């Protein structure tokens, strides 16, 4: 079965681009990506997320609040715990594609990095000494 992309009217393209930019802006922080990846397997309590994402509780709370406000995660209260889950597991597919993209271009990037390191390595200079320091003091 072939999956076709839904047709989007040209009048909606700007809104779609803004939506994509908003999602990528939220994902622009490594801690938020780590939280999303931690929720890959399903719903977790804040304490369980903290065990995986090694940040201060207040910092985690801020990141979770932003992810929740942008609709990437949902939460529910169960007795005295707050449980978080992904709003849509499709987000994991986006991150998996980014991982494949990274790995596909890693070798090329490493080659460029090694080339930059080689071109920016400066020759070692000898320390300058004055002629006076060569004359023994009496």
For 30-88, how does the pLDDT look when each residue is reduced to its tens digit (9 = 90+)?
999 999 999 999 999 999 999 999 999 999 999 999 999 999 999 999 999 999 999 99
**Hey, what domains does the chain have and what are their CATH numbers?**
13-91 (1.10.10.10)
DSSP codes of every residue in 89-134? THHHHHHHHHHHHHHHHHHHHHHHHHHHHHHHPPPPPPPP--HHHH
The answer to whether 60 and 53 are in contact (CB under 8 A) is yes
CB atoms near residue 12 (< 10 Å) = 11
Q: What is the pTM of this model?
A: 0.72
Q: How confident is the model at residue 128 (pLDDT cuts 50, 70, 90)?
A: low
Identify whether the C-beta of residue 19 lies closer than 8 Å to the C-beta of residue 72: no
For residues 107 and 26, which has the higher predicted lDDT (pLDDT)? 26
């Amino acid at each position: 079965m072939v999956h076709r992309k839904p047709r989007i009217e040209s009048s909606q393209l700007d809104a779609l681009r803004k939506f994509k930019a908003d999602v990528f802006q939220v994902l622009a922080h490594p801690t938020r990506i780590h939280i999303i990846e931690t929720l890959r397997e399903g719903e977790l309590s804040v304490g369980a997320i903290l065990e995986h994402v090694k940040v201060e509780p207040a910092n985690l709370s801020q990141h979770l609040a932003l992810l929740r406000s942008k609709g990437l995660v949902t939460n529910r209260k169960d007795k005295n715990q707050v449980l978080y889950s992904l709003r849509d597991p499709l987000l994991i597919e986006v991150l998996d594609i980014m991982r494949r993209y990274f790995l596909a271009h890693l070798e090329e990037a490493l080659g460029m990095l090694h080339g930059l390191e080689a071109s920016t390595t400066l020759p070692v200079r000898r320390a300058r000494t004055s002629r006076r320091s060569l004359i023994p003091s009496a």
